[in-house]
Structure 1
Amino acid sequence: MLNEPDFFWKNWRLGTELQISGSHIYNALYFLDKLEYLIHEEDIFEFLYNTSLGIERIQKIAIILLEHNENVDQEAFEKELITHNHVELAKRVKSSKSLNFGKVHNKFLQLISKFYNSYRYRRFNKSSVYHRDYDKYDFLEFVAAELNLEIDQRYKCLENSKQVKKFLGKCISKIACEFYEIIRNRAYEIGTFTYEIRYHSKAFKIFTAKQYTFDNENNLKREIIISLLNKNGFSDEFTDYIKNLTPLNFEGYNSSHYIKYLFNNLESVGILEEYEYFAYEKLIPKKRDEEIEGIGESHYLSNELDDWLGEE
């Protein structure tokens, strides 16, 4: 039976850390989903940074649950956790529980460990001008080698195809789920609920639903667009209200490009510039903000916080 401080720490504090871990992994994959090409160093940095944070946190949760007891030197134990070496953290977990990783998963752990410990701050050093961007190239070479792809040598990039997204999602899924199962089983043993995940949170998608791509979300958006545009689609007062609004005169792009903006506003910035031109030239009706501000906002449909929280 855990004493009160240990129970509170391992049950609540580490439970919050598990949510944070899942959020980091979700953010990494969500951002990856928006990229058309793996080309810009800052984009690859954002993906690797969030991934490495998420995996490091879940590794440390597993280590605490497996190794910590009332007899350890608390200060020394906590100091030993101050590391960002994902490979060594995995070894610590493996000393207590088996990890069913293949070569690709170990290579990915090495990649994010090297990124976080060596590459993350390298551009702050003047000597970086004499070296390539290791985080970008190591990442591209990892993906290319595993999927037998050719890196575009002219632009030094890879297309972020569905194959690439699925591969990275599957690789991260295996690593994250292995550690999560260890946490869940160990929590059962010591009588905590560290493994519990808030319903419909970012971490829920990662650890409970085990969904590591955004195919479902993107397909749902497409279906909503079809229903909005089709005469046999949505039929309610709110849809009628939208259809009775006078549309702006968008004509700079094909309609598909405007829909693309709904999926990825980062890659479709030109469409935003067209809207800003309308605003600058005063081509948007004065009360337009009031007319459209309720579209997509749930609190315009209900004033009850309980509804938003999903409580009765």
Structure 2
Amino acid sequence: MKTRAIRVHEAGGPEVLKTDEIELKEPGEGEAIVRHTAIGVNLIDIYHRTATAGQYALPRPATLGVEAAGVVEAIGAGVDNVTVGDRVAYWMLPGAYSAKRVAPAWRLVKIPDGVSDQAAAAVMLKGGTAFYLLHDIWKVKKGDNVLVHTAAGGVGRLMSQWAKHLGATVIGTVGSPEKVKAAQAAGCAHVVVLKDQDFEAEARKFTGGAGVDVVYDSIGADTFDKSLGSIRPLGMLVSVGQASGPVPPLDISKLAQKGSIFLSKPTLATFVAKREGIVRLAEGVFAGLKEGAITAEIGMTAPLAEVADVHRALEGRKTTGSIVLIP
């Protein structure tokens, strides 16, 4: 059986994304074939496309994409958590940029009634990320002051919504004035335009000089030092991405100088390494949708064949909300 897949044979810009026809094997023990109906796009896809070594490098040729929703078309022996015809979603599993794929069945979760395939593809990875960052890394509570970078983006918007729902006051940063309203709509009490304002000074001013309790920094190199400077003593900096490039090596004495700051560099992969973690995060996301703590706002949809243009838009910080590709 053949299927279409978007693969990279070498690291590079969006131009290295190629449509290939690949062989799809029959599902083996513990596996299922999923026909994709909606594919989520995430910053990690860009890291996978450009990395030549290290944490984000994938063996070449590699089918990109780590998140999708679809329908189970076939199952192998020993699969008991899904059956043919089930609507399912998964995340943190490379190979999503394809019409169909073989997936380990234990990575699949059923999509509940009332949640569309596009919503699931748009929100599962980002929502799961928001869930563990807000509930496990720093337990956000009523009265906290939280700074969220890229607050109009996919993860940032969900984190802003959820943090406000938990009772926190959210300061959000955005890349351009056009994104201010989107961040405000997500629940940010104060929005800082990075190219026009000093977010460290704004965070200090907004908190009466005290500093915020926690910063969630998805930008990386360009914002790391000022993120540290925005935090109150005994607060936390959570480094969750590197859109502007990796953070240079750190002299950890800086953490002491800034007021005994905690630093975390978590990855979603750790939280979904086992079935129970996947189920916990999925249930948390679906509950968040049901309670209205978060919404699945899709800012862009595009055919899978146009993925290179989508990557250009994402890298250029020209998108808001989540991005979904349609096979």
Q: Same fold (TM over 0.5)?
A: no
Bigger proportion of residues as strand: 2
Which protein, 1 or 2, shows the higher relative CO under an 8 Å CA cutoff with sep ≥ 6? 1
TM-score by length of 1: 0.22
TM-score by length of 2: 0.21
Bigger proportion of residues as helix: 1
